[in-house]
Amino acid sequence: MKKINLLLAASAALLLFSCNDKGGGVDIPGPKTQGYWILGEGSFSIANSSTLYYYDLNDKTVTDKFTAANPGSVLGSTANDMKVYGTKLYVAVDVSNKVVVLDAASGRILDEIDMGQADGQNREPRGLACAAGKVFVSLYSGEVARIDTTTYATDYTPYSGAFKYSEGIAEVNERTLVVANSGYGSGNTVTVIDIPTFTEKGSITVPTNPNELAVAGDNSVYLATWTDYTTGAPAALHKLDLTGMSYTTIPNVEVTKIAIYGQTLYGVNTTYDATTYAPSCSLVKVNLSDNSSETMIASQPGSFNGVNVNALNGYVYVMNVAADYMTSTVMGFDEKGNALATLTGVGNAANTVAFVNKISK
């Protein structure tokens, strides 16, 4: 992902949006980021507490734009991921078992797509990827949903007979999907799917608890595995080989959430004191050309709940959530690591941002 999708339709649409997970400097004159959506997953114990705020870069304001655009409506419970694709914003709302489609400019709800059930249980959408005019959704059921962006017609890969608790999903060059199957902490596979035929090509056996995926500018795929709750092995970073269906581990990099700009990976991690259980979080920067790394934030209170990078300029955004697992802060850094404005009051347990770009005249 993370390549910019230009929609130059006959109507010469004014707005340009991107569903980007690959990063990479793209030399396209004109587009400029106008602002970004901030998704909050909310509290696990409070129903319908997910939030969707918007930060306007022009007037430097944060607003609850979703509520203003949809009076009386709620986003749902435990919103887990969002992507902007074309002129629409897609939000995966896990516990509510739906994908919400919104107008990316206004935040107005266009549709809500129920993910249905597999084996008598809600499928539960987790991650999103966008390619070839479709939105792909990883599901706890282990299936992948494919949503047509025009009709919202939805179909699914075959159900294997058991929930795989799939988490991260990424697309590679609009041809391949990669899906991390966490097994709710005990899984150890990554599924590879051919996009044109929407069929499984195979799977890669990886270390326990695979979760997050990101794609570099050279189309290399990176995987973050979380803590192995049985052995205590820490979070780790791996590079996947989709040809040999294997992986290599990047040494001495402990990350749980990752984002890539070109050949630079940004990763966050949260650890907990063995005695007090107080969280402490860190941010690292990895040069994927030689796997060297540097620490941008060594230790900070709270929980780093997500990291995103703007494909237009390489700016990095980290979501920090306080001990109440509701109060959120968005910390920004430019491509040189200099701090940008820190945003507070941005919703409940923020976990991701999605950028809104406009074609300059």
pLDDT (tens digit, 9 = 90+) per residue, 144-186? 999 999 999 999 999 999 999 999 999 999 999 999 999 999 9
Q: With CA atoms as reference, report the closest residue to 285 among 271, 299, 295, 272.
A: 295
Six-digit token string for 99: 């994908």
Instruction: Please indicate, yes or no, if residue 1 is contained in any of the structural domains.
Output: no
Instruction: Please indicate, yes or no, if residue 80 is contained in any of the structural domains.
Output: yes
Instruction: Please indicate, yes or no, if residue 328 is contained in any of the structural domains.
Output: yes
Q: In 3-state terms, what secondary structure has residue 184? A: helix
Q: For 6-20, 40-54, 192-206, 290-304, which range has the lowest pLDDT when averaged over its residues? A: 6-20
Render pLDDT for 63-117 as a digit per residue (tens, 0 to 9). Answer: 999 999 999 999 999 999 999 999 999 999 999 999 999 999 999 999 999 999 9
Instruction: Please indicate, yes or no, if residue 4 is contained in any of the structural domains.
Output: no
Cα torsion angle, 299, 300, 303, 304, sign: negative
| CB count in 10 Å sphere of residue 281 | 21
Whole-angstrom Cα distance, residue 270 to residue 250?
Answer: 18
pLDDT at 127 over 80: yes
Q: Are 87 and 66 in contact (CB under 8 A)?
A: no
CATH of the domain at 100: 2.130.10.10
Question: pTM to 2 decimals?
Answer: 0.91
Render pLDDT for 130-147 as a digit per residue (tens, 0 to 9). Answer: 999 999 999 999 999 999
Instruction: Please indicate, yes or no, if residue 183 is contained in any of the structural domains.
Output: yes
Render pLDDT for 242-283 as a digit per residue (tens, 0 to 9). Answer: 999 999 999 999 999 999 999 999 999 998 888 988 888 999
Whole-angstrom Cα distance, residue 117 to residue 239?
Answer: 33
Residues paired with 101 in a beta bridge: 90, 111
Q: With CA atoms as reference, report the closest residue to 166 among 132, 196, 200.
A: 200
Distance spanning both ends of the chain, measured CA to CA: 26
Instruction: Please indicate, yes or no, if residue 2 is contained in any of the structural domains.
Output: no
> What's the pLDDT score for residue 56?
97
Whole-angstrom Cα distance, residue 126 to residue 91?
Answer: 9
- What average pLDDT does the chain have? 93
| Domain interval for residue 324 | 15-359
Q: Are 316 and 266 in contact (CB under 8 A)?
A: yes
Whole-angstrom Cα distance, residue 169 to residue 147?
Answer: 14
pLDDT at 206 over 70: yes
Instruction: Please indicate, yes or no, if residue 226 is contained in any of the structural domains.
Output: yes
Render pLDDT for 34-60 as a digit per residue (tens, 0 to 9). Answer: 999 999 999 989 999 999 999 999 999
Instruction: Please indicate, yes or no, if residue 190 is contained in any of the structural domains.
Output: yes
Which residue stretches of 46-138 are H helix?
Answer: 65-69
Total count of domains within the chain? 1
Own/partner long-range contacts of 70-73 (Cβ < 8 Å, ≥24 apart): 70/107, 70/108, 70/109, 73/109
Whole-angstrom Cα distance, residue 326 to residue 307?
Answer: 17
